[in-house]
Amino acid sequence: MLKKMCLLLSCIVLAQIPLGWAAANNISFLDKALISEINFGIYEIVTPKLESDRITYARKLPFDKLDYVERNEKYFSIGTAFFINNKELMTAAHVMPLMYFSLFQQYYIRDSQGKTFAINKIRKYSTVRDMVVFDLQKYPQKITPLEIDGHVEIGDTVFSVGNAQGEGIAYRAGQVASFTPEREFGKWKDIRFTSPASPGNSGGPLLNLQGKVVGLIVKKNQSENYNIAVPIGELDNLGDKAVFHRRNVQVGIMGVDDTVLRDWSFTAPLPSSIPDLARASQDSLNHHLSILTEELNVQVKEKGFPQGERFRNYLRKL
């Protein structure tokens, strides 16, 4: 009899747990009509695949082994952008890392029908806040700028919207989990949220139930849904100059343990074309690296080849 009572109570408890869990985790979803409207404000960021008629192959490449999209895609889909007014869009700065040399220098937004629109000028740029604002050479016929709402609290339902896995714009639900200090400087508190985020979501909006932007998605957590968005209010702190900053830039020389490490900062006037801003920032970073390299050469002169003792001992044995 006692065993039967225990079994009955266990069944009652187990039956009630899912109901309680569901009640505590009931998440509403965006209205479908609202999604249809704000779809006109959110786009993929793409860059053309580099192809050259001067390159020939010894034999035909087995493109038939690739899936449909890879066989036919003419662009790399790298991130997400959204309209913040009728002329300007924003994305994450690391989607367009202009301070690093790249053969990919043309960027476009792409709509759900596959039509592309070339990016024109960079209006705001900050690697500190991981934010970029830009305009276009030509615009889509219909545009829906997203509304902004700087107020968000732990427990609020939010939606990560963006170019998930480079496969087009997707909407995924979750909640605000916490607020944590920004890791580099602690100047603001990042929004940590449980909505899934994938490669390609960077630069996309974090939306509330009203479809308003509360944050800019910048990073996913590798192991669980504890992803990061910069509060949209940080947009107001972008100035009229592009701001580049890298902490702990380090150079070293093979064969010695010594290194030189120092932060790099650079600013440039805006607006600017992407090639011009990329060239200026790359020149500045390269100059910084040259200075560090010269300092390191002086620092290890007595240790390096051929004066260093380890190298001299090695040469004696030859």
Asked whether the predicted pLDDT for residue 19 surpasses 70, the reply is no
Asked whether the predicted pLDDT for residue 25 surpasses 80, the reply is no
Please give the model's pTM, rounded to 2 decimal places: 0.85
Q: How far is CA 199 from CA 102, 129, 143, 165, 285, in A?
A: 19, 19, 25, 5, 27
- Band of the pLDDT at 222, cuts 50, 70, 90? confident
Nearest-angstrom CA–CA distance, 191 and 197: 13
Query: What distance lies between CA 162 and its chain's CA centroid?
Result: 11
Asked whether the predicted pLDDT for residue 264 surpasses 70, the reply is yes
**DSSP string of the chain, one letter each residue:** -HHHHHHHHHHHHHHHHHHHHHHHT------HHHHHHHGGGEEEEEEEPP--TT---SS---GGGS-HHHHH--EEEEEEEEESSSS-EEE-GGGS-TTS--S----EEE-TTS-EEEEEEEEEEETTTTEEEEEESS--SS--PPPB-----TT-EEEEEEEGGGS-EEEEEEEEEEEEE-TTT-SSEEEEE-S---TT-TT-EEE-TTS-EEEEEEE--SSSS-EEEEEGGGGGG--SEEEEEEEEEEEE-TT---EEEEEEEEEEESSEEHHHHHHHHHHHHHHHHHHHHHHHHHHTTTTSTTTSHHHHHHHHT-
Note the pLDDT tens digit of each residue in 43-81.
Answer: 999 999 988 778 888 888 888 888 888 888 899 999 999
Note the pLDDT tens digit of each residue in 186-203.
Answer: 999 999 999 999 989 999
